[in-house]
Structure 1
Amino acid sequence: MVRHCAGLPLAIIVLGGVLARKNSLNEWQTVSENVKSYLKRGKGQGIEDVLELSYDNLPPYLRSCFLYLSNFTEDYEISAKRLIQLWVAEGIVFSNQNERNGGKIVEDVAEYYLIELAERCMIQVGERDALSKIQTCRMHDLMRDLCLSKAKEENFLCIVDHSSGNQFGKDFSSCTIRGVRRVAAHVFPQVQCIKSPHLRSFLFSFEFSAEQTKALTNPKMLMMANYIFEHDKEMWNLILWIYILRLKYILWRSWTYMFNSFKLLRVLNFEGCFCDAGFNLSSDIGNLIHLRFLCLEGLCFYNLKLPASLGNLRCLQTLDLRVDSYVGLNGISGRPIYVPNVIWRMKQLRHLYLPKHCDRKTKLKLCTLKNLLTLANFNTRNCYVGDLHNMMNLRDLQIFGSFHIEDFEDLGKNPAILGNNNILRSLTLTIENVEIPDPRHVTHLIFGCANIYELRLVLKIGKLPEYHHFSSNIASIYLRICNLVEDPMPTLGRLPKFRILKIREDAFTGKEMACSAQSFVKLDFLSIYRLHNLEEWKVDEGAMPALRHLEIYKCKNLKMLSDGLRFIATLRKLEIRRMPKAFKDKLEEGGDDFYKVQHIPSIVFENCG
């Protein structure tokens, strides 16, 4: 069968993915006959025929999942978590089992579908987490062409881009879109040209680049503006304000039309859209009562108050409010956003992303969100820590900002912050540029997370909790600005399932770090980044016996690599970035320390010197 692939790696891999799902010789023979049949009826294009065979061999439950990938632009790195949320919101993936009785939740089913697409080589896996779960994926150009072709053939969605004919100006206006259920906008669209009252999904994915903004302004006016910019700055600022006002008007019209015309929308995604002109979220968004998914991430708001009508969106499963604020010609300011206390009404929420910076007047009750799986940017200034007790299904908790337990007397002494939640898998604690939290609270929180496998600490904690406070399941730890005085390696090296360690900017302030024999028995990846005081790193023989990838970045005072690295036979890649030239020279062939790394197949030096 390989000869039918014309020696093309993609065709061979995809055909292998088809065969991998077949369990008998008869099934293999059937695939072989199908390949021949496709080639006979095709136009001799070879790889396209093999790819089409792979699509036709997809079971029905995977076809819509595959076609949904046509929403994304070429070479786009797709977040697996976000893709799964979209699948679930669209009703493409569902679970008939009762979650409360131990059945798989719908996100787990969707994750299995994603793995199956990867095993069939329909997608390419990008990054994986510490448990080898898919974090990002993308599509090969030829596979994406097939996906687009099939999506168009089955009227799965309409794509608005520069090559579709549905563009700006007259071309777009003359191409009224009717009768579609999904629209993916890869350029800024004339939303008023979409006449589909039954539209269910609207995904925006574009930036207001120079090329795209020209479509919103008369070219002759642009030439005049360029001339004025060079000769009269005051006049230029006036023109810029006029342009921004015009753009705001266009955006306001688009939003008003959208919120009043597409009342059956289930998905509205603005992720990846950036515009310095600033948005104003209309209260009309409350009309979209069927919304399951709403993402406003990255949008720039000049009105710092979100509308209370968000509370009408009772069917929401995913709500992403990670928005920015706008202050005029100087762009984004990061000023806090006021969020009305209406989220508690959204009892179907499974994934909630709050703004990083909420107004001090924001006080959110979240006690009703018992189905929540993801909670991002939680803090005790704008939320009630006691509400975490009710989130018995929470898997991913990201705390950003203030975290003080003593503010809540009703929890008593040494409260179990997460109640009896043994499902939490990932904990992130980020506290920057605010008062240092009580280390006991941090220790108590970590100790209460009995089954987490991922821990991220970005805060000035001074000292790590004792070994016995960490979950024995931890596989990944990220440390940054922790200002640890004591060497963290003796504590972390004892964790039995530890695979990924990233020690970043000022996580450790000491001069010496040591990895003893028999420590880090399963460590696969180690990154040491901007430890400015680090001078010596000792690695005993027998330490890190499974290490495959080591990265050292901008540790200016580190004198040399440890002699113990030569005993790590598994080490396959060493990356040295932004280190002194003398450090690099020692490790290159002929250098004093080359014997320590000569067994490593891939050694990368970047910006050293």
Structure 2
Amino acid sequence: NIIDVEMKKLGENMVKDCAGLPLAIVVLGGILATKNNSLNEWQKISDNLKSYLKRGKNQGPEDVLALSYDDLPPYLRPCFLYLSLFPEDYMIDVDRLIQLWVAEGIVSSKQEERDGGEIAEDVAESYLMELVERCMIQVRERDVATLKVKTIQMHDLMRDLCLSKAKQENFVFIVDQSNASSLSMIRKRYMFNNFQLLRALNYERTTGDRFAGFKLPSDIGNLIHLRFLSLKDLEFLWPKLPSSLGNLRCLQTLDLRVDRDKIHVPNVIWRMEQLRHLYLPSRCESSTKLKLGTLRKLLTLVNFNTKNCYLKDLINMTNLRELGINLPFNIENFNEELGENPPIIGSKYLHSLSIITSGYESIDPRHLAHLLSNCTSICKLSIAAEISKLP
């Protein structure tokens, strides 16, 4: 077949242009995989590669990587450039990345279809998989049960390209020794007043000292445009979070998993009706009692319990996909006959349920059986708590 022979020759020539760098060869394969398997398409890629090599002074591998970026469709470019925000060799949590994409408006939640259509997180996941298929990011971990990608990483050379393009397009502001001191002063004294248009505040600590000060400043309530706020693993001396958090009514993701034995959460979360992902502290003060029944858009709820929350609120969360219960979990006025007990879960989309304990609590098998009877779409169940027998 003449066409097959020509395509083979084109392929061999393009591989030679990659100068033996495995990453460049893999990325080139990712580009070709998105095209129709035709001689014409392969010829176009070959011609483009040659023009890049001429323009880039025959740097070979770097030119192939540059071609991979320019070949991206417009909707994928900001998704790729956003990865420049993460440090070198950083293991990027996919769920967190998708939440940030949606919060920043890179993937819109305004165009969601109702009644079972794709939501923004599903669209974002499909974009991520396109970047994986193009070999522009590397999969590091998959979920054992669902095989979904959990963590990703960027090759050093690909990250260099990403950072370079992000600077060229003014997509990011880079902090270096020339401006770090002034920015540090802003952060310490005026952070929550000077950045009132901020949409995402990833305040969590990933390495080093987790101490974040005496308490979370009440001025955080001034960031009324926030869509994303994470306080994960931060350590505060003061055992209470400010009630001004209730001003953040645009929040879509809220992570309150601070590094503290117990903390009081004010009953203001019910005001955040746009919330899609809520991570409560692993242990709350006994004075904490949260109303969550207004959070009808919630997709993720972690560290729910019946001591600090109301069980009846779960029935209103009709879009819930992931539920994490941190004991205690008790059903009041429980009757032995299941038919006499109202349903607990209002969502038909719930696919992940985890039950854990941060103390010595156990779960009643009858209560668990009734909970599971509402979960008809579960594909992942995790129980790390004391139970006398499985229902």
Using the size of structure 2 for normalisation, the TM-score is 0.91
2:191 aligned partner, one-letter code: M
1:97–1:103 contact (8 Å) kept in structure 2: no
Q: CA deviation at 1:39?
A: 0.5
Counterpart of 2:15 in structure 1 is: 2
Q: 1:70 to 1:407 in 2, by over 3 A?
A: farther
**Structure 2: how far apart are the matches of 1:134 and 1:19?**
23
Moved more, 31-40 or 94-103: 94-103
1:278–1:299 contact (8 Å) kept in structure 2: no
Per-residue Cα deviation, 1:562-605 (whole angstroms, up to 9, x for no partner): xxxxxxxxxxxxxxxxxxxxxxxxxxxxxxxxxxxxxxxxxxxx
Of 106, 122, 135, 2:136 maps to 122
Q: CA deviation at 1:416?
A: 1.3
Q: 1:299 to 1:418 in 2, by over 3 A?
A: same
1:136 aligned partner, one-letter code: T
**Structure 1: how far apart are the matches of 2:140 and 2:302?**
23
1:314–1:347 contact (8 Å) kept in structure 2: yes
Q: CA deviation at 1:280?
A: 1.3
Q: 1:299 to 1:432 in 2, by over 3 A?
A: closer
Does 1:287 pair with 2:301?
no
RMSD of equivalent CA atoms = 1.8
Counterpart of 2:52 in structure 1 is: 38
Of 154, 158, 172, 2:173 maps to 158
Does 1:15 pair with 2:28?
yes
Counterpart of 1:456 in structure 2 is: 382
Counterpart of 2:268 in structure 1 is: 342
2:84–2:166 contact (8 Å) kept in structure 1: yes
Does 1:389 pair with 2:315?
yes
2:327–2:362 contact (8 Å) kept in structure 1: no
Q: CA deviation at 1:305?
A: 0.9
Say which one has the larger Rg.
Answer: 1
Per-residue Cα deviation, 1:44-87 (whole angstroms, up to 9, x for no partner): 21110000000000001000000000110111110100000000
2:102 aligned partner, one-letter code: V
**Structure 1: how far apart are the matches of 2:243 and 2:111?**
35
What is the correspondence of 1:289-304 to structure 2 with a 5 Å cutoff? 289-304=224-239
Q: CA deviation at 1:98?
A: 4.1
2:149 aligned counterpart, secondary structure: coil
1:128–1:136 contact (8 Å) kept in structure 2: yes
Counterpart of 1:106 in structure 2 is: 120
Per-residue Cα deviation, 1:393-431 (whole angstroms, up to 9, x for no partner): 00000001210112689x994331103x21001000002
Q: CA deviation at 1:276?
A: 3.3
Q: CA deviation at 1:155?
A: 1.0
Q: CA deviation at 1:128?
A: 1.1
Counterpart of 2:87 in structure 1 is: 73
Of 286, 309, 321, 1:360 maps to 286
Q: 1:134 to 1:191 in 2, by over 3 A?
A: farther
2:355 aligned counterpart, secondary structure: strand
Higher strand share: 1
Of 62, 68, 93, 1:48 maps to 62
**Structure 1: how far apart are the matches of 2:42 and 2:164?**
27
Q: 1:42 to 1:255 in 2, by over 3 A?
A: same
1:454 aligned partner, one-letter code: K
1:126 aligned counterpart, secondary structure: strand
**Structure 2: how far apart are the matches of 1:427 and 1:59?**
36
Using the size of structure 1 for normalisation, the TM-score is 0.59
Moved more, 438-447 or 31-40: 438-447
Per-residue Cα deviation, 1:433-457 (whole angstroms, up to 9, x for no partner): 2332211111221232111111110
2:283–2:358 contact (8 Å) kept in structure 1: no
**Structure 1: how far apart are the matches of 2:43 and 2:272?**
52
1:255–1:282 contact (8 Å) kept in structure 2: no
Counterpart of 1:435 in structure 2 is: 361
Q: 1:365 to 1:442 in 2, by over 3 A?
A: same
**Structure 2: how far apart are the matches of 1:375 and 1:362?**
17
**Structure 2: how far apart are the matches of 1:364 and 1:408?**
22
Q: 1:414 to 1:407 in 2, by over 3 A?
A: closer
Of 340, 345, 348, 1:418 maps to 345
2:102–2:109 contact (8 Å) kept in structure 1: no
**Structure 2: how far apart are the matches of 1:66 and 1:166?**
27
Does 1:265 pair with 2:189?
no
1:256–1:282 contact (8 Å) kept in structure 2: no
1:165 aligned partner, one-letter code: Q
Counterpart of 1:57 in structure 2 is: 71
**Structure 2: how far apart are the matches of 1:435 and 1:36?**
66
Counterpart of 2:252 in structure 1 is: 317
1:104 aligned partner, one-letter code: E
Q: 1:278 to 1:459 in 2, by over 3 A?
A: same
2:313 aligned partner, one-letter code: D
**Structure 2: how far apart are the matches of 1:350 and 1:11?**
38
Does 1:138 pair with 2:153?
yes
Counterpart of 1:148 in structure 2 is: 163
Q: Which runs of 5+ in 2 are unaligned?
A: 1-13
Does 1:401 pair with 2:360?
no
**Structure 1: how far apart are the matches of 2:321 and 2:45?**
41
**Structure 2: how far apart are the matches of 1:387 and 1:371?**
13
Counterpart of 2:103 in structure 1 is: 89
1:156 aligned partner, one-letter code: F
Q: CA deviation at 1:256?
A: 4.4
Number of aligned residues: 372
Q: 1:408 to 1:289 in 2, by over 3 A?
A: farther
Counterpart of 2:11 in structure 1 is: none
Q: 1:388 to 1:277 in 2, by over 3 A?
A: closer
1:432–1:458 contact (8 Å) kept in structure 2: no
2:324 aligned counterpart, secondary structure: strand
1:95–1:109 contact (8 Å) kept in structure 2: no
Per-residue Cα deviation, 1:509-534 (whole angstroms, up to 9, x for no partner): xxxxxxxxxxxxxxxxxxxxxxxxxx
Q: CA deviation at 1:119?
A: 0.2
Q: CA deviation at 1:96?
A: 5.5
Q: CA deviation at 1:43?
A: 2.2
Does 1:190 pair with 2:184?
yes
Counterpart of 1:196 in structure 2 is: none
Q: CA deviation at 1:258?
A: 0.9
1:266 aligned partner, one-letter code: R
